Amino acid sequence: MQVYEELVARGLIAQVTDEDEIREMVNAGKATFYIGFDCTADSLTAGHFMALTLMKRLQLAGNKPIALIGGGTTMIGDPSGRTDMRKMLTREDIDHNAACFKRQMERFIEFGEGKAQMVNNADWLLELNYVDLLREVGACFSVNNMLRAECYKQRMEKGLSFLEFNYMIMQSYDFYHLFQHYDCNMQFGGNDQWSNMLGGTELIRRKLGRDAHCLTIQLLTDSQGNKMGKTAGNAVWLDPEKTSPYDFYQYWRNVEDSEVLKCIRMLTFLPLEQIEEMASWEGSQLNRAKEILAWELTNMVHGREEADKAQDAAKALFGGGGDKSEMPTTELTAGQFTDGQIGVMDLLVACGLAASKGEARRLVQQGGVSVNDEKVPDIDKKFACELFAGEGVIIKKGKKVFHRAVMA
């Protein structure tokens, strides 16, 4: 099976401009393609995972990836998938975020001479003269067509700023520039970028009389159909300081039964034959599939050692074995106890499981808190400091969040 057919079999491809042409170039290892990454935060997220693994798969097949850092487009902000305007970032913030992105990308993609390239669109977008740009490309864009694009339609009711309206033009100009200066003949991205990507192919056709191609991949969504990533508010970060390797592992370990095989197929590099064997798994076997998914992705992002530690911590929590020291842990001091006791609301806030006592109160009243497998019955519950000696206590918030509290 060649690489394009594997992408289809894994359910990764959403839309293409010319499937026969793209299949031929990709399978022959002759595609030079780019994927853009706007630097809206200082870490990549699970929402970027699909793009990163796609770049890796295609590079392994001989194709040349270009990772385009959006130092210029980030200063405008992509309205796709948004109901409000993005926060404006400074040039310094964007440069810092771009440096963080590069470090994380290097775990997936091999950069160097004749390999993958990383470029920053600030190098050309910030040098453009506005009047010159309008004269060069303005006539190639129909406002009527732009307003029909899904990325703009979602914003029209609440108001679309002229700043954001220019985003499609900037992204299209990126493709136009890369096509001319980097021999880049394809743009890949998430399915929510389709309209912006077509703007680039049309600009190239009208200005240069040449064909360029686009391919979009399916978006990684949660069980409610929400996009996983920064925008949807349920981010799983690739930076271990923002999402610990244990929490990263647990996120994937806790995917719904109906989602686990889809995630394994789309995100891991396990052979399809092995994945198909899992299709008949049921009951406890699905838990094994979730462990495989969680370990594979944690290994990919954080390395084998951290993946093993996270798995050991999970086994300590759920199976009574393994090393509890790798579990997220808060050390409590004597000063946090009153008369040798700490109330459940203070405990939840101290462990970062609730942002305030008000939130802690709601969690307890809704029956969402357990300590050492016993549900906390009311907000007045107190725990003696002796309970936190040694290995401490295990606090459970909701169904999937676990935390250990010990005496310092």
Note down pLDDT in tens along the chain; length 408 residues: 999 999 999 999 999 999 999 999 999 999 999 999 988 889 998 888 889 999 999 999 999 999 999 888 887 654 454 444 456 678 788 888 888 998 899 989 999 888 999 999 989 998 999 899 989 898 888 888 888 777 777 667 777 788 778 888 999 999 999 999 999 999 999 888 898 899 999 999 999 999 999 999 998 776 677 765 443 445 788 999 888 898 899 889 988 888 899 999 999 999 999 999 999 998 889 999 999 999 999 999 999 999 999 998 888 776 655 566 667 889 999 999 999 999 999 999 999 888 899 999 999 999 999 998 899 999 999 999 999 998 889 998 887 788 889 998
Q: What's the pLDDT score for residue 298?
A: 96
CA 79 to chain centre: 17
Measuring CA to CA, how many Å separate 4 from each of 58, 183, 261?
A: 9, 21, 20
CB of 385 closer than 8 Å to CB of 340: yes
What is the spatial distance between Cα 266 and Cα 139, in angstroms, rounded to a whole number?
40
Classified as helix, coil or strand, 286 is helix
Measuring CA to CA, how many Å separate 108 from each of 52, 59, 319?
A: 6, 10, 32
Prediction pTM value: 0.80
Q: Which two tokens stand for residue 68?
A: 């385009």
Q: What's the pLDDT score for residue 228?
A: 57
Q: What's the pLDDT score for residue 347?
A: 94
Q: Which CATH superfamily is domain 245-326 in?
A: Tyrosyl-Transfer RNA Synthetase (1.10.240.10)
345-349, long-range: CB < 8 A, 24+ apart: 345/379, 347/383, 347/395, 347/405, 348/395, 348/397
Domain with CATH 1.10.240.10 in the chain: 245-326
Q: What's the pLDDT score for residue 230?
A: 40
Point out which residues pair with 396 in neighbouring strands.
370, 402
Q: Which two tokens stand for residue 150?
A: 């899904």
Q: What's the pLDDT score for residue 150?
A: 72
The secondary structure element, H or E, covering residue 199 is helix 194-208
User: CATH says 329-407 is which class?
Assistant: alpha beta
Q: Find where tokens 């040039």 sit.
A: 91
Topology of domain 3-217, CATH:
Rossmann fold (3.40.50)
Q: What's the pLDDT score for residue 83?
A: 44
What is the spatial distance between Cα 56 and Cα 188, in angstroms, rounded to a whole number?
13
Domain with CATH 3.10.290.10 in the chain: 329-407
What percent of the chain is helix, strand and coil (3-state, nearest 5)? 50, 15, 35
Give the number of other Cβ atoms within 10 Å of residue 109's Cβ: 18
Domain with CATH 3.40.50.620 in the chain: 3-217
Give the number of other Cβ atoms within 10 Å of residue 111's Cβ: 13
